[in-house]
Structure 1
Amino acid sequence: MQKYAVIFCSSLLLILGLGAFTYWALTRDNSQSIKGNAVIDWVDFVKLNGHTYTGLYDGVLVNPDDVTDAVAGKVKFKVGDVVSNPDYRTKEGDAAFLAIGTQLYEVKGYKPEELIAAEDKTRIGGYRLYVEDSYYKTLNRRSFKDLPMDKVSKIELYKKDDTAPYRTLVNQEQSDFIHLLKSGEYKPAYTPNTQNGDPDYYYMIFYTDEPIAYSFSIADDGDHVFFYPWDLALVDNRIRTLLADSNES
């Protein structure tokens, strides 16, 4: 009888143990597991010192020397192309696309909880800028319609993937260029012509009295020149003269 009692108690403990484990497995926090079945479209971010920063794609440092040697933090884990769990919670040191070990530096004129920079030789100016999410709201609006045209001192033009300008517009050329852009016709439904390949893309960098210049892309698909001041706008084809590279025959 005692033997059966021992067996019964052992079986009961086993059942209770399995039940507890099953409950734990079903209710445990799955937020730190990186594996899942989702394809996640990450925003370019980095999380450091209790702050979340987002990449500033429409801004270029006027003076790259403003990036100091003071290290604000270092990337510990890259989530892009690795994390597929939609419930994953980003943590300290995580970044979407920056490689593990990438250092982020403080920028002169900004607090480290406002703006930081990571070296990136593929970017205009040599740095990728990151703005703290709450501070971003205090920055000047970065859309084309908010650009202070009366304070533009020059416009540099870059070909896609180049880090050196092929043309600089000042004085009358600058005025004509801005006029043509502002006169663009909004065509949100326009579909660029790709029959002969992708459009030619360029970057326009507008320098004002601010430490961060304004950056916008403009493209030519062979039929039209267009850019995105907000929605897509078609620009008079006369702008091609100002977009042309004088060094090319």
Structure 2
Amino acid sequence: MEAINKVEFYEGYNKPQLNNIILNDQEIKGILAILNEGKIESSFSPNTAQGDTTIYQLVLYSRELIAYIYPLFYDGNVWYWHPWDTSIISNEIKNYIKKTE
């Protein structure tokens, strides 16, 4: 993931809406650090007492002809994703998912 040069965040699953586009190298490094520093929690179960988990799409671009798409989830308390195993990530990720003005 070192060659990532663009990140997009979308909200939703069936009809995802663009929330943010990030091109700044420092911000991209920050996002990748958050993802890489996640804590694997294979037995994690999201809290759905307050409703369904919010789903986001993380799209990572590089110089390759394809982009990589990963779902991110927020259960109202915890951010997590499933790159391979369930990984709990820092709440700091919300700073990058903000809606584009």
Amino acid at match of 1:153: N
- Secondary structure, aligned partner of 1:219: strand
Give 1:157's aligned residue.
9
| 1:235 paired to 2:84 | no
Structure with higher Rg: it is: 1
Q: 1:246 offset after TM fit, Å? A: 4.7
Structure 1 stretches lacking a partner, 5+ long:
1-148
Q: 1:190 offset after TM fit, Å? A: 0.6
Structure 2 stretches lacking a partner, 5+ long:
none
Cα distance in 2, alignment partners of residues 199 and 241 from structure 1: 18
Give 2:22's aligned residue.
169
TM-score under structure 2 length normalisation: 0.89
Aligned equivalent of 1:204, options 58, 76, 92: 58
TM-score under structure 1 length normalisation: 0.38
Q: 1:158 offset after TM fit, Å? A: 0.7
Q: Aligned residues, how many?
A: 99
TM-superposition CA deviations, 1:143-162 (whole Å, max 9, x none): xxxxxx22111011111133
Give 2:44's aligned residue.
190
What percentage of residue pairs aligned between the two structures are identical?
Answer: 26
Q: 1:198 offset after TM fit, Å? A: 0.8
Higher relative contact order (CA 8 A, sep 6+): 2
TM-superposition CA deviations, 1:181-215 (whole Å, max 9, x none): 00000001010010011111000111112211111
Aligned-pair Cα RMSD in Å: 1.4
Give 1:90's aligned residue.
none
CA contact (8 A) 2:11 2:56 kept: yes
Q: 1:242 offset after TM fit, Å? A: 1.2
Cα distance in 1, alignment partners of residues 76 and 17 from structure 2: 24
